[in-house]
Amino acid sequence: MISLQHVTKNYPGSALPALDKISLEIEKGEFVFLVGPSGAGKSTLIKLLFREQLPTKGEIYFYGRNLARLNKKALLNHRRQIGMVFQDFRLLKQKTVFENVAFALEVLGKAPKEIEYKVSEVLDKVGLAGKEKSFPAELSGGEQQRVGVARALVKDPLLLLADEPTGNLDRNTSRQLMELFETINGEGTTMIIATHAWDLVDQMQKRVISLEKGRLVRDEKRGTYGYEF
């Protein structure tokens, strides 16, 4: 599904590459943790997969298509196949829970009836049924992140990318969120999660890709976090 071939990413003004000759394959339906110290290149890799940025060298293929060669329309289609979850949730404060999730479908030009049905379904799935009319400020951190997950999920993405999704959550809420991710993955969505939540990584025993100073240092099928705090 995803193939990276000798991918290097340099940022102007930085002596060291953010990613250095990374090659790896990710299959459909996999659950992958991206781990490593801050500045290791996890966020850069996520940005490259979303095609927010382009690699300086090397190629990235998504279902056989080279991401560097997408035209405007193909780029939109690529992004519509991916759900993004952020550490800071990125919810619209003036919109309700329902409106925040519905926004993802309005952007795609879906009909109001379809939006209503799908949003209710996904809010039920993430455990937010009954909170439709609440505003983000009225929710806990964990609930806000669930809204973020619902917004990413509502368009039935093939791939869900999450950049430090538990970074602002307590341990218990983080565990619940990871359980939700596992359920979503069980339904066929491929997951790539950049995280520092070492205990959950250790506990869940999923594929772990470890980056350090932009280099791939470890790729284990059922790995652990592998760093000490």
Partner 1 sequence: MKSEGLTAMNFNFLRYCLRQSRDSLKRNFWLALVTSCIIAVSLMIFGGFLLLAVNISQLMQDVQSNVEICVFLYDDADKDWLAEELQRLEGVETIRFVTKEEGLEDFGRTLGDAALVTGLQGENNPLPDAFRVTASAAELVPQLAQAMRRLEGVEMAEYGEELVGELLKLTGWINRLLVGVGLLLALGAVFLIVTTIRLSVMARREEIGIMKYLGASDWFVRFPFLVEGIAMGWLGTIVATAALVAVYGKVAATLQQDAFAFFLRPVTSPEQLLPVFTGLLLLGTCMGGFGSLISLRKFLRV
Name the residues that contact partner 1, by CB under 8 A. Answer: 50, 52, 76-77, 79-80, 84, 90, 92, 103-104, 106-112, 151, 155
Name the residue nearer to partner 1 (CB basis): 84 or 123: 84
What does the block give as tokens for 173? 């809420």
Name the residue nearer to partner 1 (CB basis): 16 or 76: 76
Distances in Å between the alpha carbon of 35 and those of 32, 193, 194, 229? Answer: 10, 9, 6, 13
CB of 229 to partner 1, least distance (A): 31
Name the residue nearer to partner 1 (CB basis): 88 or 202: 88
CB of 73 to partner 1, least distance (A): 9
CB of 71 to partner 1, least distance (A): 13
Give the DSSP H/E element, type plus range, for residue 93.
Answer: none
Any idea what DSSP says for residue 177? H
Q: Longest Cα pair distance anywhere in the chain, in angstroms?
A: 52
CB of 16 to partner 1, least distance (A): 26
Distances in Å between the alpha carbon of 59 and those of 76, 89, 106, 168, 188? Answer: 19, 30, 32, 33, 25
Name the residue nearer to partner 1 (CB basis): 80 or 218: 80
